[in-house]
């Protein structure tokens, strides 16, 4: 009987410990964001944080750590305790482009971070100043080839997704843009509006008003299918550039070694937030496309996207110094 009681007690202790390990979260969660407040990366993190709080009752603290192309924030996540209480929200460039742009990094985003779930995607569009005499992508290509001294590209940041999209489009179209650097998308778009620079790639959310007012002309959508909010704009694939699909995605990551049940639980939050009517409305208001995907499929997507950007960086011989 004593042996039976001892075994029963031991089994109870083991089961209790296992049950305790499955309870998550039991304290506030910190989400480190790779950008400053105000952008779509930050917005998606805050929407997710509010959703997690609503589902669990635990506070979610948003910690913005901009700088070094997102490396500061994601290094902190990679080196955090893998217990589910320090997470990171990053975008495409931070995870699958930086490893191929910088000669050395203090961590490996593809090895030291666990992909948890997608929060949304924002496709890119090629826009020109409406005074440029080109009504279609092919007309723009012909005009640029005939007037190379009249066309320059407004760069919103070296090594960003729009920048690399411009290099790749230029390579495939046989164009070589003069890249004019600006500190962010806002100043770059203002330069195009003013006619100082003629073309750039943008996400449409903050800039669709300029299209509606006739200040910018959209020549192509880097999407598989036409965007619902700009159905009249043909995709690049429809205009002779099959497979030219470029978007910026925003996603949740955890440190390598985070327990699988926590990753699955967090992935569930990234999926269920997409069905919340209020959160859905906020995402759509910023032209963020919803993306519902489980953790293993998202991990496979990240590694496939990395292979794509590695090729683009290599083919265009792009290198940056930190």
The residues spanned by each domain of the chain are 26-122+248-315, 123-239
Phi, psi of 17 (to 5 degrees): -65, -40
Strand partners, 233: none
Q: So what's the pLDDT on residue 150?
A: 86
Q: Per residue of the chain (322 residues), give pLDDT as tens.
A: 555 454 454 444 444 444 444 699 999 999 999 988 877 888 899 999 999 999 999 999 999 998 888 899 999 999 999 999 999 999 998 999 999 988 788 899 999 999 999 999 889 999 999 999 999 999 999 999 999 888 999 987 777 888 889 988 999 999 988 888 887 778 888 999 999 999 999 888 778 889 999 999 999 999 888 988 889 999 999 999 999 988 889 999 999 999 999 999 999 999 998 888 888 888 888 788 888 889 999 999 999 999 999 998 888 888 776 5
CATH superfamily of 123-239: Periplasmic binding protein-like II (3.40.190.10)
CATH architecture observed for domain 26-122+248-315:
3-Layer(aba) Sandwich (3.40)
| 88-121 burial code (b ≥16 CB/10 A, e <16) | bbbbbbbbbbbbbbbeebebebeebbbbbbbbbb
DSSP 91: E
pLDDT value of residue 16: 40
Please tell me the distance from the alpha carbon of residue 156 to that of residue 179, in angstroms, as a whole number.
10
| Closest by CA position to 165, among listed 115, 220, 121, 216 | 220
Cβ count within 10 A of residue 235: 20
Cβ partners under 8 Å of residue 72, min gap 6:
34, 65, 66
What is the model's pTM? Answer: 0.82
Dist CA 21 CA 253 (whole Å): 20
pLDDT of amino acid 4? 47
The count of other CB atoms within 10 Å of the CB of residue 257 is 10
Q: Phi first, then psi: what are they for 181, rounded to 5°?
A: -80, 140
pLDDT at position 275, please?
Answer: 85
Chain centroid offset of residue 36 CA: 14
- SS3 for 74? helix
């Amino acid at each position: 009987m004593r042996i039976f009681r001892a075994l029963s007690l031991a089994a109870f202790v083991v089961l209790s410990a296992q049950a305790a390990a499955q309870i998550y979260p039991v304290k506030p969660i910190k989400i480190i964001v790779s950008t400053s407040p105000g952008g779509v990366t930050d917005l998606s993190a805050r929407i997710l944080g509010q959703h997690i709080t609503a589902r669990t009752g635990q506070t979610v603290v948003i910690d913005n750590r901009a700088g070094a192309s997102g490396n500061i924030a994601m290094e902190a996540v990679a080196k955090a305790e893998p217990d589910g209480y320090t997470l990171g929200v990053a975008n495409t460039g931070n995870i699958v482009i930086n490893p191929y742009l910088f000669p050395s990094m203090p961590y490996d985003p593809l090895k030291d971070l666990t992909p948890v779930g997608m929060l949304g995607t924002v496709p890119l569009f090629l826009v020109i100043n409406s005074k440029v005499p080109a009504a279609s992508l092919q007309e723009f290509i012909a005009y640029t080839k005939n007037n190379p001294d009249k066309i320059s590209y407004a760069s919103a940041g070296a090594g960003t997704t729009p920048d690399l999209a411009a290099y790749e489009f230029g390579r495939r179209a046989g164009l070589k843009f003069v890249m004019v650097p600006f500190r962010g998308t806002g100043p770059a778009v203002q330069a195009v509006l003013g006619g100082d620079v003629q073309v750039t790639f943008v996400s449409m959310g903050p800039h669709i008003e300029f299209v509606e007012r006739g200040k910018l002309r959209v020549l192509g959508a880097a999407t598989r299918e036409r965007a619902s909010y700009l159905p009249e704009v043909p995709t690049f694939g429809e205009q002779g550039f099959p497979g030219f699909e470029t978007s910026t995605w925003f996603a949740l990551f955890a440190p390598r070694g985070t327990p699988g049940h926590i990753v699955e639980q967090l992935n569930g939050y990234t999926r269920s937030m997409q069905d919340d009517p209020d959160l859905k409305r906020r995402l759509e208001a910023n032209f963020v496309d919803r993306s519902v995907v489980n953790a293993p499929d998202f991990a496979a997507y990240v590694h496939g996207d990395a292979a794509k950007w590695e090729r683009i960086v290599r083919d265009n011989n792009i290198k940056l110094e930190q």
